[in-house]
A and B are shown apart, each in its own frame.
Chain A
């Protein structure tokens, strides 16, 4: 391991290094949640069949929205590096739009499950841990999406006012891709497995 220290540890700006440290700690938080869910799931005598509980096509659509927003974010970071600020502005706005769409879809999903009788403490399948972990994990992830959307909306304003740099866009991008990355794990381990 080569620190290559001085003013740029590991060859990156301190802001970017701090973002990576944040991503690791936040990633460990989700790793803890998912391991806890794995424990509850392994320990439960039965678990609701996700094909029956969720509309998987709808969850897949949510995944499509988030992956697409990650692609628009990556495009805006690439555009910022070549100072194509018009493209940066439109792509950051598209990414924020993806965040809003994802949140709206999640609100709809939560609403339909709550109407079906799923709460933190009980659900029609008598597996309390199911509702517990569902709301905890998707709620924490959704909060990350909400924060990311606010960051992106702010970034869009700053890009229009030419008050940000390519490094600023990159930092917002790292956070947004992390949110997408967490969803890859949540989607697989909670909705499919």
Chain B
């Protein structure tokens, strides 16, 4: 069985605190009425930071081989972004009767 350094409970609850603060910032920023692009950048950056903390600390990816983390994060994020960035614009063009 794989070996792990045992994680202190306090360290885990610190991550919990970070996740809550990031969530509060996101909700606060969302209500501020910022320009759309700036809002998107802040929200997506905060979202990815939260995802990083959950996967690396809670799911313990930081203790796994790098290949595991890369395979998991890359496949999901890359294909999600690929579907949206490459297929959606074309779909929208068709939807609006361009062709």
Name A residues whose Cβ lies closer than 8 Å to a Cβ of B: 1-4, 8, 10-13, 16, 20, 23-24, 27-28, 31-32, 34-36, 38-39, 42-43, 51, 56-57, 60, 63-64, 67-68, 70-71, 73-75, 77-79, 81-82, 167, 170, 173-174, 177-178, 180-181, 184-185, 187-189, 192-193
Contacts and interface: CB of A to CB of B under 8 A. Distances in A.
B4 A81 contact: yes
Contacts of A174: 59
Contact of B75 (A24, A32, A82): A24
Contacts of A79: 9
Contact of A192 (B1, B43, B70, B95): B43
B92 interface: yes
Contacts of B6: 78, 81-82
B84 A35 contact: yes
B20 A10 contact: no
A78 B11 CA distance: 11
Contacts of A70: 16, 19, 54, 58
Contacts of A57: 27
13 contacts: A10-B65, A10-B67, A11-B2, A13-B2, A24-B72, A28-B76, A35-B84, A35-B87, A42-B89, A43-B92, A74-B57, A78-B7, A82-B6
Interface in B56-80: 57-60, 64-65, 67-68, 70-72, 75-77, 79-80
Contacts of B57: 74
Contacts of A185: 47, 51
A177 B88 contact: no
Which of B8, B23, B43 has the largest number of chain A CB atoms within 10 A?
B23
A181 B51 contact: yes
Contacts of B60: 77, 170
Chain B contact residues (Cβ within 8 angstroms of A): what range?
Answer: 35 or more
A39 B84 contact: yes
Contacts of B9: 75, 78-79
B54 A64 contact: no
B88 A184 contact: no
B88 A1 contact: no
Given A71-B15, A78-B12, A2 B67 contact: yes
Which of A11, A13, A35 has the largest number of chain B CB atoms within 10 A?
A35
A13 B54 contact: no
A45 to B, nearest CB: 9
Nearest to B40: A193
B31 interface: yes
Given A1-B67, A8-B2, A78-B7, A192 B26 contact: yes
Nearest to A17: B68
